[in-house]
Structure 1
Amino acid sequence: MIVISTGPPARARRSKLSAALLADMAVRALREEAQLSPKPGLVDRRGGGAHDDMDLPLLLASAEALRPTFWSIADVAGRMAVGVELREELGRLGRVGEATMLRITRGVNTHRGALWTLGLLVAAAADADDEREAARHAARLATLPDRHVPPGVVSHGERARQRYGVRGARSEAEAAFPHVVEVALPRLRRARTAGLAEEVARLDTLLEVMSLLDDTCVLHRGGLEGLRIVRSGAERVLAEGGAGTDSGHATLIELDERLQARRLSPGGSADLLSAALFLDMVPWPEHVARAERKVLACKR
């Protein structure tokens, strides 16, 4: 067995957070991303966006269907040492979860990309003290091989990655989720500090990711021109003041109409927003300890 250890050799990992809690937060992140509105080209409370085979109830049902998978991922990650055996077990659980998702959605790919991203982060969060450490743990898992992946299975996103020479979801994970840790989470927290409403903060965070990400979901449907439209459109909304201003909101609706007309859906950006929401929900030990120290200081 090949093992990459994060501590003493052959030491089993000890989960700091319960599997049930991690699964619940992963499902909540998916549900809250789905309900966020108005999102350009994406399913939200208004309808299916650029999709004619999805709507909000379907996404919510899909998210709930993945709860047992996230629970199993967190459970096994809390008990096994980091290595190829853990990576392959996570892959097996992910394939079972995908089959469950497709059965619930009657074959519609609602959350395949999100399952990859959140599955890794749920596994990593089982033994991390903060989001950066979780992202690094997830990166180590992503780089390990899974010898049981069915041959010949190539996703639309992987085809787009190969064709256009961009990073894609796997490379994002292997690089420790830079668009989540370095872009989405800081933007989300700055927006809250500035006093923006939570929905506006999340929309602006999504737009920030859209403006930077080589989204393979967009590339698959619209090629490089489609990606240019998405990225420049998101930049323009932010330049107009973001989703919380009259001008920014109007520009956001214009972008949504343009993406729907071209059948462009920035699903990769949505997946990374879900990942940021998940990491933001986790009660990291260090964050809890810092909050407790502040409470004690205020009482003195």
Structure 2
Amino acid sequence: MTKSLIDQARDYAINALHYEVVLLPKPGLVDPQSNGAHTDMNVYTFINSITSLSPFFTQYIQTGFYHQQSFDTLFEPLRKIGKQAEDAMLTATKGINTHKGANFSFAILLGATGLFYQENCPSTWTAANSDDVLSIAAKICRHLIEHDLEQLDKEEDLSYGEKNYLTYGLTGIRGEAVAGYPTLSKLLDYVRQLPDEGEVKLLRSLVYLMSETEDSNLVHRGGYEAMKNVQKDMKKIHEANLSKTALLHALTEYDQIMIKHHLSPGGSADLLSLAIYFLQLEGLSFW
């Protein structure tokens, strides 16, 4: 039973990354019809990346499942595996960063899922179970900002998110993790109430995320004001509650704006993948 649950969680995480990359139209992001604002990657780059990460997803869950110490001591073993996964990703993509942020979060959340499965094997996964895993994730990451972000003045090779913290005070995905992924939790509450529209439900989810998320990718590419403008534009689309046809048209048009300004909401895409993972656990199907 445990192996079956571990395999299922791994498969749902892999599915989530595939579902995200094939979803379209996604403003500024890679999909099967557009490379978005990216000139160095396409949908095949993402497929290669997902394949390279897959074996490590099993390791994340197993590491959590067999962990016997305090929750916060799980972070370092997960980080060690995560670095191996990142190296495998960069080899598969010839050095292109496709899933660094998603890999970080899936390491935490799959590890948290493994910890959850130590004591719980629910026959039907509920929203409360998803909340339990997010709470465990916060405990795993309890000291992450203090450990990572407050020591950055001693580092030389900084990520986009780390530079954003020093420049704007944005904690990015680390802040999300330490707080138990509040933006993801709000998205899950929102999407559970949406009507069954298949992939359109995911597009509405992306719009919601782009209106809420302090996206480090947008800040890196266009600055803080560009990120705020994207949030404002997406909020208008979100609040308009457009029909499927009107939504597809609006997102197709906004894709051209994002491409023109070289903007890509990669942080929102990562959070969407995480949401898809939990929605599958909760029994939602997209076909």
Q: Which TM-score bucket, shorter chain as reference? A: 0.7 to 0.9
Conservation of the 8 A alpha-carbon contact between 1:19 and 1:72: no
Q: Tell me the secondary structure at the aligned position of residue 223 of structure 2.
A: helix
Residue 226 of structure 2 corresponds to residue 239 of structure 1: no
Give 1 or 2: higher helix fraction.
2
Conservation of the 8 A alpha-carbon contact between 2:10 and 2:57: yes
Conservation of the 8 A alpha-carbon contact between 1:233 and 1:255: no
Q: What residue number does 2:77 align with?
A: 89
Query: Which among 170, 175, 197 is matched to residue 171 of structure 1?
Result: 175
Q: Tell me the secondary structure at the aligned position of residue 126 of structure 1.
A: helix
**Whole-Å Cα distance in 2 between the matches of residues 231 and 34 of structure 1?**
21
Conservation of the 8 A alpha-carbon contact between 1:31 and 1:63: yes
Residue 215 of structure 2 corresponds to residue 211 of structure 1: no
Query: Which among 125, 137, 147 is matched to residue 113 of structure 2?
Result: 125
Percent identity for Structure 1 against Structure 2: 31
Conservation of the 8 A alpha-carbon contact between 1:74 and 1:126: yes
**Whole-Å Cα distance in 2 between the matches of residues 266 and 171 of structure 1?**
17
Q: What residue number does 1:221 align with?
A: 221
Query: Which among 162, 182, 185 is matched to residue 181 of structure 1?
Result: 185
Q: What residue number does 1:11 align with?
A: none
**Whole-Å Cα distance in 1 between the matches of residues 238 and 260 of structure 2?**
21
Query: Which among 44, 51, 54 is matched to residue 57 of structure 1?
Result: 44
**Whole-Å Cα distance in 2 between the matches of residues 113 and 94 of structure 1?**
11
Counterpart residue type for residue 259 of structure 2 = Q
Conservation of the 8 A alpha-carbon contact between 1:230 and 1:266: no
CA RMSD of aligned residues (A): 2.4
Q: Report matched runs for 1:1-300 at 5 Å.
A: 18-81=5-68, 82-128=70-116, 130-144=129-143, 152-182=156-186, 184-191=187-194, 194-195=195-196, 197-242=197-242, 244-246=244-246, 248-282=247-281
Q: Tell me the secondary structure at the aligned position of residue 193 of structure 2.
A: helix
Q: Tell me the secondary structure at the aligned position of residue 115 of structure 2.
A: coil
Gap regions ≥5 residues in structure 1 = 1-13, 288-300
Q: What residue number does 1:297 align with?
A: none
TM-aligned CA distance change 1:245 to 1:91, over 3 Å: same
Tell me which moved more, 115-124 or 158-167: 158-167
CA shift, 1:190, in A, is: 1.5
**Whole-Å Cα distance in 1 between the matches of residues 241 and 263 of structure 2?**
23
CA shift, 1:85, in A, is: 4.1
Q: Tell me the secondary structure at the aligned position of residue 127 of structure 1.
A: helix
Deviations along 1:11-59, whole A, 9 cap, x unmatched?
A: xxx9686332222111110110111100011011212101001111111
CA shift, 1:83, in A, is: 4.1
Counterpart residue type for residue 268 of structure 2 = S
Conservation of the 8 A alpha-carbon contact between 1:66 and 1:100: yes
Conservation of the 8 A alpha-carbon contact between 2:14 and 2:50: yes
Conservation of the 8 A alpha-carbon contact between 2:86 and 2:100: yes
Aligned residues: 266
CA shift, 1:177, in A, is: 0.5
Q: What residue number does 1:290 align with?
A: none
**Whole-Å Cα distance in 2 between the matches of residues 244 and 166 of structure 1?**
34
Gap regions ≥5 residues in structure 2 = 121-128, 149-153
Q: TM-score, normalised by structure 2?
A: 0.86
